[in-house]
Each structure stands twice: as C-alpha cells, then as structure tokens.
Amino acid sequence: MKNTDFNKQILDWNKTILNSTVNLLEKFQGYGEKTAGSYLELSPWGADEGKKVLSQWSGNRKRSLKAFKESVAFGFKQAEGFCAVAKQTK
C-alpha cells in the first residue's frame, strides 16, 4: 500500500470519528437543553429570566458548533487536497 493511500484512509477514519463525536455531543446538548427547558417551565422562580438565558445559550452553542463544523470540514478538505496532489505527483 502506498503512503498516500494509507494517509487518505487515516484521514477518512479521523473524519468519521470526529463527525460521529460532534453529532453525539450535539444530541447530548440538545437533550440537556430540552431537560433544562422543562425544568424552567415547571419552576415558579425566575422562569422568564431563565428561559431568556437558556435561549441565548442555545443560540450561541448552535452558532459556535456550526462554525466549528465548517472549520473542521475546511481543514479536512485541505488535507484531502494535499493527499490528492501527493498521489498525482507520484
């Protein structure tokens, strides 16, 4: 097996693992938000302020996760480009 093929396989494996981990983290965070929202709905104290904070936190988390996913996808695209160039030069 050539080094370029091996590197591409390692890159694909890392991409799969990272995407799976980020998706799992996103599901856990969504579950946490849903649970916290339910508690805020049932609590008589500070529900309006809590809802506002939870909403802001949720929006920030979603925007940050989207930016993270885009930057990781860009990095993998660059690495795949390097592998393609290395394969073509041999």
The pLDDT of residue 41 is 79
Mean of the per-residue pLDDT values for the chain? Answer: 86
pTM value > 0.85: no
Q: What is the mean pLDDT of residues 32-44?
A: 83
Q: What is the mean pLDDT of residues 13-40?
A: 90
Q: How is residue 82 written in tokens? A: 């390097």
Q: Which domain holds residue 67?
A: 3-89
Of 21-25, 27-31, 80-84, which range is least confident?
80-84
CA–CA dist 43, 41 (Å, integer): 6
The pLDDT of residue 65 is 92
The pLDDT of residue 21 is 93
* Number of domains, the chain: 1
CA–CA dist 75, 65 (Å, integer): 15
Burial 34-65 (b: 16+ CB within 10 A, else e): eebeeebeeeeeeeeebeeeeeeebeeeeeee
Residue 90 pLDDT > 70, yes or no? no
Q: What is the mean pLDDT of residues 23-27?
A: 93
